[in-house]
Amino acid sequence: MSDAQSPTDFDFEPVDDFEPVDVFDDSMDLRPGADNCYKCTACDTSCPVAEVDDEFPGPKFQGPEQWRLKRKEDVEIDDSILSCSNCMRCDNACPSSVPLSQMHNEARGEYVENQMDHRSREYIRNRILANYRTLAELGSKVPRITNAVMGNSLVQKLNEKLLGITAEREFPEFATQTFREWWRERGGAQVSSEEKRIAYFHGCYSNYNTPEVGKALVRVFEEFGYEIAVPRQRCSGTPMFANGMLDDAERAANVNVPEFKDLIDEGYDVIASCTSCSMSLKQEYPELFQISGIDEVSNHTYEALEYLRIYEDVQGALEGKSVDYPDLAYHAPCHARNQGLDRQAVELFREVDGFEIEDVGSSCSGISGTYGWKAEKYEKSMKIGEDMFDHMHHAKGSVGMTECPTCSMQMEHGSGYEIRHPLQLLEEAVA
Amino acid sequence: MAIEEDVIVVGGGVAGTVAALSAAETGASVRLITHKKSTLRHASGLIDVLGYTPDADGPLADPFEGLDSLPEEHPYRVVGEDAIREGLATFDDIVGDEYHGEHTDANALVPTHGGAVKPTARYPKAAAAGVASDDRDMLLVGFASMTDFEASLAADHLDAAGVPFEARGVTIEFPKRFRADAKVTRFAKALDTDEDVGGRGTREALAAAVEPHLDGAARVGFPSLLGDDHRHEVRADLEAYLGAEVFEVPMGPPSLPGLRLEDLLFDALDEAGVGISSGNKAVGYETDDGEVSAVIVDRKGREIPYHADAFVLATGGLVGKGIDSSREGVREPLFDCYIPHPDDRYDWFVEDAFGDHPFTSFGVVPDDRLRPTRADGHAEFENLFAAGGVVGGANVAAEKSASGVSLATGVVAGRAAGDSI
């Protein structure tokens, strides 16, 4: 009867509410999180990597168990942490709110920092992939040349040989005009409002590769009467977390947080069109960094459709609408799932006439950002995606829809479908 | 105020999904809010109505015969026999031919992974060939790396239980080598997609490994890992190779039959046009004139109200976290509904591990319309109804009544919420 004594008999210090702190500070205490785990394996059975990779010990080991092992001296982080794709499905599965992805991020950061050779090909390749935005900025200066070079099969082979970036995938094409260039050219916001204001976190992909998504967001929100700001911004950090490059992510966060915090003070909410960007600002930022204003930014961040469903009668705006649109195979990204957004597109658009929208199942697409771009992960990535490809082929029509840029690459790559973003359909329906 | 429905159901297990479907049947617009994956993944996937009386008499041949033995405050006594039957009928509509048992009131006896025989009202098609009332000899197959199922021990237990057939157990190596602690989902995936093992499919390789041990057995039982989406195909292939019927034995967590049932329930919600918001936690509520006007959902730091005219609380029991306890007491965390319990926490349990623990039946006290009541017997709120594990008065683990209670209260609470609009 271990608790036969009343607690007052003990020299008992109640554990304060646990506050995530900077992961490079050795005083990080994830014990409450580790102690919440009762080994039910819900996380392991929802892990897409564990389902196809027999070397991968799964999120329960990578999180609470490895954290405990680390309490001993001289125990290194297991290198399998690099096989975690950072889909964060384990967070969503855990009934005890163990901060699994936070533990994985911390372990991965520590592994990359202390155990990885920073001159190795793998490190350099991961660093390049994680900093996609830097490349995109250069490449989009001369988009046509970049597209021609990156699309050249010889270059792709060299990438695989020299860097370990798979030659199987088509590089996403850069737009001839970035979203920010378009925004400047149109003279910025066309609607002004004191009450309804959003600051657009466009991320890298909508800016350099699919400005049509950013434009759709602008038209839809202006239609609903919002004043839009597009502040200076860096990458949300998602590919950096996934590659354990936390320093890079923090540098970017140090630009993003103050920029958006200032706008929040002026009554703006932060809106992302990419579900991984909104995920990062909402969850990973306050978990991993201590930057003044980071909690405000986290608490004011929304995904675009999520925001409209909460604050506008978007359902009513679509009621009885008919849109000339192709039938859609919709895939919910893992990071949308973790924010509770996985059903919103299907629920919203099934009210609209003129096309069918079908959910292609709850599996992970398998690409997980930079993961599926790595030569040694490519096959695994495609294996995880099999279920989704299968459902896509069975769905009506041959056009896909998703919120996540890399999910859309994977969908296109595995099915040959053209892929669109829900905002583009919304633009068609209301703007 | 864009998120507005007629009825909001909080909880995504059996009770929540059935309540949402029943509310939708009244013509109401319905949204179901669920935080994490439900406890179905820890459950057997069997649908029990009543296996034992409170005095541990049983297994009951007919669950309905045992209703009179239940205490006055038992949810079954509150909703009545018709509600139990309607709950089962609703379930049968949802699952179609994926489950068996609807042809009779009698309990089926289904062997479990420990070799116990469980009295249950509905069981997955995949488990059908394993029922204990069948007198054909049985071979149980376990896998060396899967310690959750010891086939020969389970077979010995079945023998000891006096089943009318010979049960043998054998442990073999699964034809495809996984890591030592591979999860059932990994095995299931290999069979589902019929992964290649040395030039043939996993299904054929598995059948070939079992075949030498068959020795005339008419049916072969495996732990529940025979595929997922293609489960019927997997079993049919194994049956064709072996020339014997193949069935699955329900396992502990993580449970594939539970996961498959979750899929069936959510498909039905989609069919019925019920909105689903998953992944964020309901943390509070707003009231207006004695009624609940909204449930507050924490969306990663931002609290968003979900408005409705009626609400169903189906957040589960102690395991599902619909009931919370601390040294100070036992509480229902969302609406702070009254849960009667002794002040002294040493009176919540008894010394005997398998004894009659008071905590097993802790929960909200429903009125005749399944509204949680205050200590004085009045409804906590005019428009709040409760279903499933959060409702007190039943010792579901000992009685084997969890699913039946969820179905019966789910139908009644969902319908009452829908009709109150």
Would you call A62 an interface residue with chain B, using a CB distance cutoff of 8 Å? no
A5 has pLDDT over 50: no
pLDDT beyond 70 at B378? yes
Nearest to A199 by CA among A103, A87, A111, A277: A277
Work out the pLDDT band at B182, boundaries 50, 70, 90.
confident
Alpha helices in A115-245 (DSSP H): 121-130, 132-139, 143-150, 153-158, 179-185, 205-208, 211-223, 238-242
Look up residue A187 and give its two tokens. 């003279």
Q: Give mean pLDDT, residues A108-126.
A: 95
Q: What number of C-beta contacts closer than 8 Å exist between A and B?
A: 99
- Give Cβ neighbours of residue A240 (< 8 Å, ≥ 6 apart): A130, A131, A246, A248, A249, A252
Collapse the DSSP code of A39 into the 3-class scheme (helix H, G, I; strand E, B; otherwise coil) and give the result. Answer: coil
Residue A75 in this model has a pLDDT that exceeds 60: yes
State the pLDDT at residue A213.
98
Where is pLDDT greater, at B180 or B337? Answer: B337
Which secondary-structure segment (H or E) carries A301?
strand A301-303
List of chain A residues whose C-beta atoms are within 8 Å of the C-beta of residue B275: 343, 347
Judge: A302–B36 Cβ closer than 8 Å, yes or no: no
pLDDT, mean of residues A421-428: 97
CB-count burial class (<10 Å; 0-12, 13-18, 19+) for A119: exposed
Chain segment B362-377, per-residue pLDDT in tens? 999 999 999 999 999 9
Please give the distance of CA A227 from its chain centroid, rounded to a whole number: 26
Q: Is B41 exposed, middle or buried (0-12, 13-18, 19+ CB in 10 A)?
A: buried
Q: Does residue A27 contact residue A21 with C-beta atoms inside 8 Å?
A: yes
Read off the DSSP letter of residue A50: H
CB contact under 8 A, B182 and A54: yes
SS3 B103: coil
The span from the CA of A249 to the CA of A34, in Å, is 25
Closest CA to A331 of A417, A270, A272: A417
Mean pLDDT within A134-145: 91
Say yes or no for a CB contact (<8 Å) between B37 and A46. Answer: yes
- Point out the least confidently predicted range of A148-157, A417-426, B209-218: A148-157
Nearest to A44 among B183, B280, B320 (CB): B183
Tokens representing A363?
């599996």
pLDDT confidence tier of residue A2, bands split at 50, 70 and 90: very low
A311 touches chain B (CB under 8 A): yes
A299/B254 Cβ within 8 A = no
Least confident of A7-16, A70-79, B80-89, B240-249: A7-16
Q: Rounded to the nearest 10 degrees, how much is the dihedral formed by the CA atoms of A306, A309, A311, A313?
A: 160
Give me the percent of chain A exceeding a pLDDT of 70: 93
Q: Averaged over A118-144, what is the pLDDT?
A: 93
A310 touches chain B (CB under 8 A): yes
- Say if residue B235's pLDDT is above 60: yes
Give the B-side interface with A, CB within 8 Å.
Answer: 2-3, 36-37, 39, 41-42, 177-179, 181-186, 189, 193, 229, 253-254, 259, 275-280, 299-302, 304, 320-321, 327
CB atoms B3 and A309 under 8 Å: yes
Q: Which residue of B has its CA nearest to A287?
A: B300
Mean pLDDT, chain A, whole residue set = 91
Give per-residue pLDDT as tens, B246-286.
999 999 888 999 999 999 999 999 999 999 999 999 999 99
Res A73: pLDDT: 72
- At A408 the three-state DSSP class reads helix
The yes-or-no verdict on residue B41 having pLDDT over 90 is: no
Whether the pLDDT of residue A27 is over 50: the answer is no
